[in-house]
Amino acid sequence: MNQNIDLLTLRSVSKSYGTVPVLHDIDLSIRDGEFLTVLGPSGSGKTTVLRLIGGLEPLTAGEIRLDGQDISRMPINKRPFNTVFQDYALFPHMTVSGNVGYGLSVRHIKRKEIASRVSQALELVQLGRFAERFPAQLSGGQRQRVALARALICQPRLILLDEPLAALDLELRRQMQEFLKSIQREIKTTFLFVTHDQEEAIGMADRICVMQAGHIRQLGTPHELYYKPNCEFVARFFGENNLVAGKLGPVQGEQRPIETALGRLVCSICDQPHLKTAPDGVSAFAAFRPEALHLADAKDGANRFSGTITDLAFAGSSTVATIMAGANDAAQRLRLRMPSRIDGSALKSGEMVSLCFAPHEGHLVLA
Amino acid sequence: MSAPRPSTIFLAAITALVAVLLYSPLFVPIVSSFFTISHGNVDWSSPTLSTYVALAGNHEILAALRTTLIVGLCTVVLSVVSGTLLALYYHGRRFGRSYLQFIIFLPFLMPPIISGLALLIFFREIGLERSLLTVVIGHTVFVLAIVYRTVLMRLQSMSRTLVEASYDLGATGWQTFWRIILPNLSSAMVGGAILAFALSFDETMITILVTGTQSTLPVRLWAMMRLGFSPDINALVALILMFTVLLCVLAARFLIPRQMATERT
Amino acid sequence: MSRAGSTHSAEGRLSQLVTVLAFALPVIFVLVPLAIFLVYSFFGVDQGTIVYAPTLSNYVRFFTDPIFLPVFWNTIVLCVSVAVICILLAYPAAYFLTTLKGRWRYALLMLLLVPLLMSYVIKIYAIRSILGLNGFLNKALVALGILDQPSTLFVFNMNAILLTLSLLLIPFAILPIFLSLERIPQTLLRASDDLGASSLQTFLRITLPLSLPGVASAASFVFVLAIGDFLTPQMVGGISGFTFGRILYSQFGTAYNWPFGAALSVALAIVVICAILVGERFGRSRGTSV
């Protein structure tokens, strides 16, 4: 497996239901062996992407290529992909081993081989003891693992997972995230995972594809998405963020200033050529994470402004302060996150404070 | 759209065949209510309403129809009142419920000949002459299960907190019953009443066994059938068909929960 | 309503009355008649009057007389055949309905169920005229060249009963099969496709097994309704189409032997109860009932 080779390519793929378009001209490459997460709010078209790839629905326009071959019209039962459905879709009248072996038995593989591959697959998902149970006798997490075993037993080129953890409670969901990731590492199969939960996406994905309103907004590693969002939507959707609107100033090496209601803020534009080439005076946002914002001390020079703390919320390991910054008529609501301390916060609600963030911790997004 | 697959064509053909089979027995009397048939050939050239006119003069049939309506109404009143009371009583009560349900459902599950004969012997033993009263009792026993079940299902879908909220707001048991429970049950009761009426209207086998000298329409028709029908019967059949379709639409309307109806609008 | 009570005496009295009625009514009008009926089967008849002395003679007669057991058995075979015919026709129709979308699905379902509401007697009469020697069926078969001349194959005999009952009872088979097919989640079928099954494999291994509970209830419905019917055989059976229901009915008419009729009813009831229990047993879906 080579992570640099494209397994599957979507080219100018569009999809409409009747006259309602749900996907607009999508281009996406999935690399062989990667764990790719498609992340987006509901209605963003993320599940549609999965259904098109799986062959559950026909394309309206464009093509899907597997190893360079067009498979857009290949019927669902011929595609070398398998799906883990959101509600698992386990066959209620078959035992666990009947469910897991189904994909092999419809291909008329010998009983003996089916039995041995089923037991291997069940060992892999740690359900060896449950082979003869019916789905109704299993817990949610166990059903989830049966669905996974059933999908991977045919050794598909790609496993499609449609929000498979949505029905599980929080603790189980965390366990299953680790479990899925470890299985994926072990069998080295490409996973395409659809979710609306960004924590889930960050925890598991090699790369994340953020979708909104039928468009792909950004595709990159979780780190890239977090620190170099390329648009306002990703900057706001992916993790908590402070955005302050303004106009771009002239480029200063790897940094660029932006004139905002909080004054001139200088942010990093390193490795983002489109920010370098954008003309002066263009509308943009300065974006900085709550954990990048801190109380200014004497030696801090750049990106300094003052604000009033309006609320303090204890959130376990960290404490979040809500701050109104800037002049009254253009006050900005900002958040500041800092490690919690046993003897209580150094801040007090209603207090005036001086704040700043380092230029290399701020970034710019075009409006 | 691609051409339909052979399997789909096969299924559609079977469905069409079934529809034809089901409607052919209805088709015959309706066609002959408007056209004259001689030697098995329909005379399409001269549609006529004479059968309907003849029906209006057939006192025997009209009397049977009136009897059927009276029996139907009495059955509806008796079965809705007792079915609703039983459902209210056994809802949320464990003691005896499964036995009682079993007993109520027996006449519905058993072949009507068994229910009918059991009642026939019972009436004879208690010295009750066969009359319209015995017919009404027979019908009520037969349809009670349907009304009971319809009302009980509504009760079960009704949120328990509704009643609790009423008590919580200071209402008495009576007030809660009249102002909360009954209004919520009313559409189920109407639906159950329509079903009960439809079943009573066409009930033949129990009625034949327990009826006295006055008989309902199906029994009258049964007696006449041995001799062959006069053409005005076809007119009656056509009218009954329209009437039952109407009843069926009404029943569907009342049995679909209100929530679903409002969601659609 | 259990809370209503103790506070007001009127409510208390009403609740007592309701309690009494709730137990008494079903017992008086259902249980007592059936019990008396059962007791009657142990009485005898002497010269047209009932002898109120316990005897097993009715049951002995049922098992030893060469007439009754064969008719009993033939009737069971007939009704099983009716159930099979109904299911063979109803299954494809119900399956076709589930392939339709939204409004069409229910409109067509209604269309197939409405004939149920039509007068039973009239339908029997109409079918008889269709099946008759000069009926539509014979005319059609002759016109199509399948027959040279009208056949008596389905005129006043067992075949006529078989066809008439099947025609009358098909809707009772369509509904439960449709409901069980409709309950199968679409994702199960998609999952089967996804795992590489052909549409025939998906039907045979997923759809069919999951719809068997509906088929079982349909079969038990149709069988019970067919075996209890004494009007249809009377009307279309002629002399050769003798069924158990007819014999039973005649004990209360021409033969005038109520106790023997009661014993025959007990035999009928046992078969019906067995059919219902079998339907119940297989009507529950496997795996999910745990």
Q: d(Cα B232, Cα A289) in Å, to the nearest integer?
A: 88
Average pLDDT of the residues of chain B:
83
Residue B157 is assigned to a structural domain of this protein: yes
Q: State the pLDDT confidence band at B38, using cuts at 50, 70 and 90.
A: low
> C214, C188 in Cβ contact below 8 A?
no
User: What does the DSSP 8-state code read for residue A191?
Assistant: E
Residues of chain C with Cβ-Cβ distance to A136 below 8 Å are: 287-290
Tell me the pLDDT band of A170, cut-offs 50, 70 and 90: confident
Confidence of residue B243 (pLDDT cuts 50, 70, 90): confident
* CB contact (8 A) between residue A92 and residue C198: no
Query: How close is the nearest chain A Cα to the Cα of C96, in Å?
Result: 21
pLDDT tens digits, C25-38? 888 989 999 999 89
For residue C8, the model assigns a pLDDT of 57
Query: Given C187, C198, C289, which is nearest A85 (Cβ)?
Result: C187
The per-residue pLDDT for range A10-21, each reduced to its tens digit, is 998 999 988 889
Q: How far apart are CA A116 and CA B259, in angstroms?
A: 52
Contact C198 A106 (CB under 8 A): yes
Q: How far is CA C229 from CA B76, C75, C248, C269, in A?
A: 25, 11, 11, 13
Who among C30, C37, C99 is closest to B117 (CB)?
Answer: C37
Look at residue C169 in the predicted model and tell me its pLDDT.
Answer: 94
Question: Could you give the CA distance from residue A151 to residue A84 in angstroms, rounded to a whole number?
Answer: 6
Residues of A in contact with C195 (CB under 8 A): 77, 82, 102-103, 106, 150-151, 154
B208 versus B257: the higher-pLDDT residue is B208
DSSP line for A293-337: -EE--TT--SSEEEEEEEEEEEETTEEEEEEEES-GGG-EEEEEE
Cβ distance C290 to A77 less than 8 Å, yes or no, reads no
Tell me: pLDDT of C162 over 90: yes
* pLDDT confidence tier of residue B221, bands split at 50, 70 and 90: confident
Strand partners, A61: A14
Least confident of A221-230, A336-345, C6-15, C255-264: C6-15
Q: Grade residue B265 by pLDDT with cuts at 50, 70 and 90.
A: very low
Q: Show which subunits contact C, needing at least 3 CB pairs below 8 angstroms.
A: A, B
Percent of chain A whose predicted confidence (pLDDT) is above 70: 98
| Cα separation, A100 vs A84, whole angstroms | 12
Distance CA A78, CA A99 (A): 19
Looking at chain B, the whole-number percentage of residues with pLDDT higher than 90 is: 26
Q: What local confidence, expressed as pLDDT, does residue A295 receive? A: 84
Nearest to C187 among A87, A106, A134 (CB): A87
Average pLDDT over residues A194-219: 90
What is the longest distance spanned by two Cα atoms in chain A?
Answer: 77
How would residue C5 be classed by pLDDT, with cut points 50, 70 and 90? very low
Query: Does residue A297 contact residue A254 with C-beta atoms inside 8 Å?
Result: no
Substitution target in B1, B7, B11, B18 with the highest count of C β-carbons within 10 Å is B18
Counting Cβ atoms within 10 Å, is residue B255 exposed (0-12), middle (13-18) or buried (19+)?
middle
Q: Which residues have CB under 8 Å from A69's CB, separation 6+? A: none
Domains and CATH numbers, chain A: 6-227 (3.40.50.300), 240-366 (2.40.50.140)
Which of chain A's residues have a Cβ under 8 Å away from the Cβ of C180?
none
pLDDT category at C4 given cuts 50, 70, 90 is very low
Indicate the SS3 state at residue C64: helix
| 8 A C-beta contact, residue A20 and residue A60 | no
Residues C72-82 pLDDT 10s: 999 999 999 99
Sign of CA dihedral A328, A333, A336, A342: positive
Coil, strand or helix at A230: coil
pLDDT at B6: 84
What lies within 8 Å, CB to CB, of A268 at 6+ separation is A254, A255, A359, A360, A361, A362, A363
Chain C residue with CA closest to A89: the answer is C188
pLDDT computed for residue B95 by the predictor: 74
Chain C residues in contact with A93 (beta carbon < 8 A): 209-210, 285-288
Give per-residue pLDDT as tens, A261-275. Answer: 888 888 888 878 888
CB contact under 8 A, C192 and A150: no
For the segment C163-180, the average pLDDT, to the nearest whole number, is 94
In a domain, B215, yes or no: yes
Q: Which residues of B touch C131 (CB under 8 A)?
A: none
A330/A177: higher pLDDT: A177
Residue C289 has pLDDT above 60, yes or no: no
- Radius of gyration for chain B, computed over Cα atoms and rounded to the nearest angstrom: 23
Instruction: For residue C196, give every residue at least 6 positions away whose Cβ sits within 8 Å of its Cβ, in sequence order, or none.
Output: A77, A78, A103, A106, A107, A154
CB A210 within 8 A of CB A217: yes
Task: Tell me what the mean pLDDT of segment B191-214 comes to.
Answer: 89
Whole-angstrom distance, CA of residue C258 vs CA of residue A269: 102
CATH number, domain containing residue B90 = 1.10.3720.10
Which H helix or E strand runs over B190? Answer: helix B182-202
What are the structure tokens assigned to A247, written together?
């106009």
- B244 contacts in C (CB within 8 Å)? 114, 117-118
Q: Which residue of C has its CA nearest to B164?
A: C3
pLDDT for position B1: 44
Which residues from chain A sit within 8 angstroms of residue C188, using beta carbons?
89, 91-92
- Candidate from B28, B122, B177 with C-beta closest to C33: B122
Q: Do chains C and B touch (3 or more CB pairs under 8 A)?
A: yes
Nearest chain C CA: its distance from A129 CA (Å): 17
Flag if B15 and C108 touch (Cβ within 8 Å).
Answer: yes
Mutation target to probe the C interface, by most C beta carbons within 10 A, among B11, B20, B22, B126 is B22
Residue B44 to chain C, least CA–CA distance (Å): 16
Gap between the Cα atoms of B149 and B143, Å rounded: 10
Pair B214, B132: CB distance under 8 Å: yes
Residue C69 pLDDT more than 50? yes
Residues A111-159 pLDDT 10s:
999 999 999 999 988 898 999 999 999 988 899 899 999 999 989 999 9
Q: Positive or negative CA dihedral for A197, A200, A203, A209? A: negative
* Domains of chain C with bracketed CATH: 1-36 (no CATH), 67-283 (1.10.3720.10)
Number of domains observed in the structure of chain B: 1
C122 to B25: CB separation less than 8 angstroms, yes or no: yes
What residues have CB less than 8 Å from A235, skipping those under 6 apart? A229, A241, A243, A285, A287, A363, A365
Residue B2 is assigned to a structural domain of this protein: no
- The confidence band for B263, taking pLDDT boundaries of 50, 70 and 90, is very low
Rounded Cα gap, residues A197 and A9, in angstroms: 25
Q: What pLDDT shows up at residue C20?
A: 82
Q: Which of A8-22, A343-357, C197-211 is predicted least confidently?
A: A343-357
Interface of A with C in 101-130 (CB under 8 A): 102-103, 106-107
CB atoms within 10 A of CB B101: 17
Cα–Cα distance measured from residue C129 to residue C233, given in angstroms and rounded to the nearest whole number: 15
Provide, as residue numbers in chain C, all residues whose Cβ is less than 8 Å from the Cβ of B90.
Answer: 22
The pLDDT score that the predictor gives to residue B114 is 92
Contact call for A93 and C285, based on CB within 8 A: yes
> What range defines the domain where residue B213 resides?
62-255
Q: For C184-203, what is each residue's pLDDT tens digit?
A: 998 999 999 999 999 999 99
Q: What is the pLDDT of residues A34-91, one digit of tens each?
A: 999 999 988 888 999 999 998 888 899 999 999 888 998 888 888 899 999 888 899 9
For residue A56, the chain C residues in CB contact (below 8 A) are 190, 194
What residues 135-174 of chain C have any CB closer than 8 A to a CB of chain B? 135-136, 139, 167, 170-171, 174
Which stretch of B26-40, B207-221, C50-64, C76-90 has the lowest confidence by average pLDDT? B26-40
* pLDDT at position B262: 41
Which two structure tokens, joined as six digits, stand for A293?
A: 């914002």
Looking at every residue in chain C, the average pLDDT score rounds to 86
